[in-house]
Amino acid sequence: MSETDVFLRLFAATLAGGVLGLNRDLHGKPAGVRTFALVSLAAASITISSSIGAPDPTSLSRVVQGLVTGIGFIGAGIILHEPGKNRVHGLTTAAATWFSVAIGLMCALGLWSILLTAGGLCFLVLMFGGDLELWTRQWFASKATKSVDGDAPDMEP
């Protein structure tokens, strides 16, 4: 792998991770551009270093496994639980942080078509997933209300 190729892959990982972080930052989440860019860059750096330093496929497989497992610690730090309310916050940001490791891996391995497809789908989910959830909840709530109102027995004598 040439130095130019290494630079482009690291730059792409940083840029793609930063774009993902920008979405989280615009939604007021605790992890933003810097966190996601650094996680993605770190994953790409570790992957490239291990693929150059130890071209054995089994060692690269262990690196990927370690990255995917290890990011759980950062994700766990992002997730907050509200006692007594049965509410959890930060799951989407934690999942997006996990995806930023995948971004770094895809960039490091030069898997550009997978990066574009998975990145595009991730973007769509983050941009429109919340609205879809809200619409779905409202739609099902209106169906439940109509069903309950329509099936209620008459209370008049």
Please, which residues have CB within 8 angstroms of residue 14's CB and are 6 or more apart in sequence? 37, 40, 41, 44
What mean pLDDT do residues 110-120 have?
Answer: 89
According to the per-residue pLDDT averaged within each range, which of 27-41, 58-72, 101-115 is highest? Answer: 101-115
The per-residue DSSP string of 17-66 comes to: HHHHHHHHHHTT-SS-HHHHHHHHHHHHHHHHHHHHH---HHHHHHHHHH
3-state class of 81 per DSSP?
strand
Is residue 18 within 8 A of residue 10, CB to CB? The reply is no
Average pLDDT, rounded, for the chain: 80
Q: Per-residue pLDDT for 42 more than 50?
A: yes
Task: Tell me what pLDDT residue 149 has.
Answer: 55
Q: Where are the domains of the chain?
A: 3-151
Q: Per-residue pLDDT for 98 more than 70?
A: yes
d(CA 92, CA 4): 34
d(CA 150, CA 142): 12
